[in-house]
Amino acid sequence: MTATERLFRGDEDEYLSMDDPRDYGNIIYQLSFKEAINSKPPIISDYKVITFGISEPEIEEVYKSNKYIQVQKEIKNITAREFATAIALRKAIKKLKISNAISFHRSILRAENFRQQQELITKVYPDYQPIKTFHVSGAMPTNQRASQMRLFAESKGLMTNARCLTEGVDLPAIDCVCFTDPKRSRVDIVQATGRALRLSKGKKFGYILIPIFVSKSQDPNEAAEDSGFEEVIATVGALSTQDTRIADY
């Protein structure tokens, strides 16, 4: 049984693909996201995709601000764009009343830096309520990672990671996933999205947050197409509307 099968296309005979019945047998039963959401009772939570626009003038304003200078003193090599993304996530948490969020990053270093940014935002932006922040990575000892996961499950806050939380994680209280960097693998996207779709008491929706950077000469729709997140947007958008298998080519 698998939640996200891996399919491969090509002329090589040296790989195994899950759509080959000679290796994996015939499909006995298949349940789509759409069917799981619409089931009575539902099997997984419904969800909303939220794209938060960050304009070039906003980034320039952040770059010039004393608050950004304060952050730079504590976190080296942070860009104004990265800090603007961190602020945008905090705005979304406040507006949508998000309790537990997970952010995905392209590296362990960027994930840890993002966690530190959230702590600094609490210091320099008093309008935002403090949130607890956590970080896990595959480089951590198993007991340390388990401790962080347990504390996160018992709290309200943010957990940052690179790929550590894409699969094999059961934290039903998660109500938000944020993609801070573009992803290309559809399997990774679906597995990451799935973290926000577990049912939990009082939960109406899981939220998928995607930052879109808008230059001075762009409109938001054009920016979405050029953002590098088009694979994330297309894959996540298809989950609840199409009865199709998500394949990684």
pTM above 0.85, yes or no: no
Query: Residue 55 above 60 pLDDT?
Result: yes
H or E element in which residue 210 lies: strand 205-214
Asked, for residue 105, whether it belongs to a domain, the answer is yes
56-66: average pLDDT? 75
Rg (CA), the chain: 19
Domains in the chain, number: 1
Asked, for residue 87, whether it belongs to a domain, the answer is yes
38-53: average pLDDT? 88
**Calpha distance 230→183 (Å, rounded):** 9
**Calpha distance 55→41 (Å, rounded):** 41
Range of the domain at 223: 41-239
Name every residue whose Cβ is closer than 8 Å to that of residue 40 and which is 6 or more positions away in sequence: none
pLDDT, one tens digit per residue, over 100-135 is 999 999 999 999 999 998 988 888 887 888 899 999
According to DSSP, residue 28 is labeled -
Asked, for residue 187, whether it belongs to a domain, the answer is yes
Could you tell me the CATH number of the domain that includes residue 168? 3.40.50.300
